[in-house]
Structure 1
Amino acid sequence: MRVLLLFVPLSSMFMVGCGESVKNEEQAVNQQLIFADYQTSVNAIFDMDIDGKVCSSSGCHDIGNGSGGGLKLYPNAALDSFEMDFNYRVAQSLSNLTNPNQSKLLLEPLAGTFSITGSHAGGDIFANVNDPNYLTILAWISNPEEVTSGETP
């Protein structure tokens, strides 16, 4: 039996239901996501029980014991702590500021989407694009702030 191996960089493309390819686009270097909004709305989603699943739990995306790919989180991070800053930076790295609804942070746990490595091992977290938690994260990604000279995103 012959096996054909095809290597595709994981960061350049992932699959979205029905064989549709989505390519990552260049990110605007003069923009960053708003940390205060992340602290007050987005991070709480990762610590929330969603149908018996908690994203930041030790079996999923916990920085210490989680098996959840590139999204590693400190559970229950305190406001303005190193852990919160870390969580923010990881979430920002999985966000597409040019095309927010194509962010890996949103697509991976969305029902009906599949990354190049398969479906989200934790199952469907967002039933559809009208899920309130999906919309909260989408709103955060859709509203970056401009970075002025000398600031570091």
Structure 2
Amino acid sequence: MKFTRKASAVWKGSGKDGKGSLTTGSNVLENTPYSFHTRFEDGNKGTNPEELIGAAHTGCFAMQLSFLLNEDNYTATTLDVDATVLFEDGSITKVSLNLEGDVPGIDAEQFQQIAHKAKEVCPISKLLDTEIELKVTLKNA
């Protein structure tokens, strides 16, 4: 399978006082504001690259995990994943994924193994050149 996706950014002004907007090809983000303030300060009223990386990573990981569970004849009722992206000294140094899953019929050890495999083969995980930590909780264990 091969495909492309597009996104664009427009920035006006200086790095600290300027403002920008982000648009995705699907228009889910359409002229969504971002700025120094939304990135390095409170993050309100706009987005930032780090939270978008977190969103991309959680979405990709959850879908990858779902496929791997299906290969072993499990279907998740819910996979709830959040990400904390750590930015320090000009780099993203760590992404912490927190997974809570409700998967009927699976035991905790097998869920852990499949979740860690998903972390390794998830395309966004493979893209990121940083530490990726994964905490796994199985609700029905």
Instruction: Note whether the superposition's TM-score is higher than 0.5.
Output: no
Indicate the structure whose relative CO is greater, using CA pairs within 8 Å and at least 6 residues apart. Answer: 1
Task: Report the structure, 1 or 2, having the larger strand content.
Answer: 2
- Work out which of the two has the higher radius of gyration on C-alpha atoms and give 1 or 2: 2
